[in-house]
Amino acid sequence: MKIPSPPINPENKAFFDAARERRLMLGRCKSCRELHYYPRAVCPFCSGPTELVAAKGRGKIYSYSVMRRVPEPYAIGYVTLDEGVTVLTNLVDCDPDTIRIDAPVRLVFKAAEGGEMIPMFTPA
């Protein structure tokens, strides 16, 4: 599967720099302390300043969908991380027909066409 390169900008550069080192970063508000994903410069809950914190890379499938009307079927889904944040992601390295809601998953990284590392999840 070809993965298009994400547009890198000043707001997400630190996120993709960490991904290159195989770390998935979440946003955390310095004011209200809420975590969020994708990380933003401004807290989506209270508009406070934010920082990046590393996720452990474990979670469970909240929901998913399999794209079948393409040459190579693939799955996308929402994964709720152990930290409580829900992430829209690809579910990879598995038969899409074996994916189940609530199944445990772990973090993996896949290279995009430009070499950026993209966080995805696979059954644990």
* Interacting residues toward Zn ion by CB under 5 A: 29, 31-32, 43, 45-46, 48
Q: How far is the CB of 81 from Zn ion (least distance, A)?
A: 18
Residue 84 backbone class (left: φ over 0; alpha: ψ -120 to 50; beta: rest): left
Instruction: Name which of 55 and 118 has its Cβ closer to Zn ion.
Output: 55
Q: How far is the CB of 45 from Zn ion (least distance, A)?
A: 4
Instruction: Name which of 37 and 121 has its Cβ closer to Zn ion.
Output: 37
Question: What does the chain come to in residues?
Answer: 124
Distance (Å, whole) CA 77 – CA 99: 10
Q: How far is the CB of 53 from Zn ion (least distance, A)?
A: 13
Number of H helices and number of E strands within the chain? 1, 8
Instruction: Name which of 41 and 124 has its Cβ closer to Zn ion.
Output: 41
